[in-house]
Structure 1
Amino acid sequence: MIVLENGASRLQLFPNVGGSVAGFTVDGRDILRPMTQGAIDVLDAASFPLVPFCNRIPHGRFAFEGRDVGLKPNLGGHPHPLHGQGWREAWTVDSAKGAQALLSYDHAPSDWPWAYRAEQRFILGERGLRMELSVTNTGDAPMPAGLGFHPYFPRRPGEALKATVGGVWMIDETVLPTIHHEGVWGPDWARGAGVEGHDSLIDHCYTGWNQLAELSAPGQPTTTITASPECRWLHLYVPPGQDFYCVEPCANRPNPFGPPDSGMVTLAPGQSHVIWMEITTG
């Protein structure tokens, strides 16, 4: 475990478990859901990186520049591999000093047949955290790439989420996007809506996001999320009956090799793709 401190802020990193964040507090208050003591599953983390793609690829099969690719499942018995390789591997600590840390992960060709290097830079402010995530093609052929963040937030009593979005991808029973719905569906996040009391699972990708979200609760400071312009999609995961939810800035949508304009980019050998996210509180 690596611990960074700056003023009222404290950040815990768990590099061996998916390069994850284990905790982030300001004034002793949990801004991200804290990882349980002794937990070793990245799904119990406070946040983890999505690299080199976000969300699900149907049955792990796609074609890219004449090459057919088949990825192995990486979430129990779920049929669709998701979130790339970085969240399932240990990361190296390149540096950790003062209020900054740099972690890296080098991927050798496997079922994902391209070599790449991913880096996470953490910059801890006195009342906030900036995370930068990059991927560099270290192979000798073009590689597809997408990036995202997967932070978990504690669901406070009366919690509301406000985020300007223009539409949403509907999902099937295996959480794959089916059709795009323009306008409001379910909670009206643009006006601010509660994250409590939903009877059914929200695990949807929202479009038209303006890279800003606010999390508020009565009598408590507001948490603000901002992201880089590449993060055009906001994925929300709100499981009924749980004390947490996820607000995920993403630079590609689910089924990234499906319909056009998925956000995936093509990296030439040596080329990089970078996104960032900032989480601040009052």
Structure 2
Amino acid sequence: MTVIEKGSARLILAPEAGGAIAGFTIAGRDIMRPTPAGANDALDTASFPLVPFCNRIPNGRVTFEGREVVLPPNLGDHPHALHGQGWRGAWTVERAEGDAAVLAYVHAADAWPWAYRAEQTFTVDEAGFRVVLSVTNTGETAMPAGLGFHPYFPRRTGETLTAANDGVWMINADVLPTVHHAGPWEVDLAAGAAVEGRGLIDHCFTGWDQRAVLAAPGAPDTVITASPENRWLHVYIPPAESFYCVEPCASRPNPFGEGETGMTRLQPGESRSIWMDVRSA
């Protein structure tokens, strides 16, 4: 574990577990879901990076500029490649002192046939932190790239989630997007929606304005903001769990599907970056 802090704010990093955040506290209060002792899977952490794509690729099949690629499953027997490679690899601590840290992950071409370097830069202040996630194409041909964040938050009594949006992608049984529904659906996040008392929500909301507010009676709000590239907000609210996820993403599920998905094309040596702020207000 690697710890950086400022005042009573403490950010715990787990570079060996997919470059994840293991916890974030202010004055001992958990702002994000804490990682259980001994856990070493990014899925058990407080947050992990999505690089070089977000969410699911159906059956791991990619077509990019005439090249056919098949990615192996990376979540047990789930058939759809998920969230890229960064969350399944160990990251290197390049610097960690005081209130700042830099983690790096280097990917050599394999089933994902494009080499790249990913980097996370963390900075903590007394009310929150910012993480900048970047990816650089280190190969010799153009590479597709998408980025995102996967933070988990404690589900507090009476919690509401507010996030402007203009619609949501419907999903099938494999949690893959099917059709886009304009306007409110199931939960009206733009007006503020209760987190409790719902079935599974595992949907990508569109037209997000890069700000989400998590509010609970008698407690400070948690405010998530993100860079303009994060036009999609993926919300995961599993029934009967003690957590939920509010995920700023610069590309949507099925990132090689039809329409505008947010995936970009990086020439050799080119980079792309996004950021996310999490703070108590």
The two structures have a TM-score, normalised by structure 2, of 0.99
How far does residue 128 in structure 1 lie from its aligned partner after superposition?
A: 0.5
SS state of the match for residue 109, structure 1? coil
Specify the SS of the correspondent of 1:103.
strand
Q: What is the one-letter code of the residue matched to 1:191? A: A
Q: Distance in 1 between matches of 2:256 and 2:217?
A: 42
Secondary structure at the aligned position of 1:254 is classed as coil
**Cα deviations across residues 134-154 of structure 1 (Å, max 9, x unaligned)?**
000000000000000000000
The 5 Å alignment of 1:171-250 reads 171-198=171-198, 200-250=199-249
Report the secondary structure of 2:38's partner residue.
coil
Q: Percent identity?
A: 64
Q: Shift of residue 26 of structure 1?
A: 0.9
SS at match of 2:81: coil
SS in 1 for 2:114: coil
Q: Secondary structure at the match of 2:87?
A: helix
* In 2, Cα distance between equivalents of 1:134 and 1:146: 10
Return the offset for 1:62: 1.6
Q: In structure 2, what is the Cα distance between the partners aligned to 1:114 and 1:62?
A: 12
Which amino acid is 1:240 matched to? P
Instruction: Say if 2:37 is the partner of 1:37.
Output: yes
- Please state how far the C-alpha of 1:191 moved relative to its aligned partner: 0.4
Residue number in structure 2 paired with 1:272: 271
Measured after TM superposition, the shift of residue 177 of structure 1 is: 0.3
Moved over 6 A (4+): none
Counting only pairs closer than 5 Å after superposition, residues 97-108 of structure 1 correspond to structure 2 as 97-108=97-108
Q: Which residue of 2 aligns with 1:48?
A: 48
Deviations 1:39-94 (A, max 9, x none): 11111000000000000000000210111000000011111011000000000000
Cα separation, 2, equivalents of 1:134 and 1:228: 12
Where 1:220 maps in the other structure, the secondary structure is coil
Write the distance in 2 (CA, Å) between the matches of 1:212 and 1:219. Answer: 21
The whole-number CA distance in structure 1 between the counterparts of 2:95 and 2:62 is 36
- Kindly report which structure 2 residues correspond to 1:1-282, keeping only aligned pairs within 5 A, or say none: 1-198=1-198, 200-282=199-281
Residue 27 of structure 1: CA displacement? 1.5
Alpha-carbon offset, residue 28 of structure 1: 1.0
Q: What is the distance in 1 between the residues matched to 2:166 and 2:8?
A: 36
Gapped regions of structure 2 (runs ≥ 5) = none
AA partner of residue 250 (structure 2):
A
1:227 alignment partner AA: A
Paired residues in the alignment total 281
> How big is the shift at 1:5?
1.2
Unmatched 5+ stretches in structure 1: none
**3-state SS, counterpart of residue 220 of structure 2:** strand
For residue 122 of structure 1, report the CA deviation from its aligned partner: 0.5
AA at the equivalent of 1:12:
I
Distance in 2 (CA, whole Å) between partners of 1:139 and 1:123 is: 29
Give the distance between the partners of 1:186 and 1:8, measured in 2 at CA: 38
* 1:103 partner amino acid: L
Give CA-to-partner distance per residue, 1:110-139, whole Å, 9 cap, x none. 100000000000001111010000000000
Normalised to the residue count of structure 1, the TM-score between the two structures is 0.99
Q: Distance in 2 between matches of 1:118 and 1:54?
A: 14
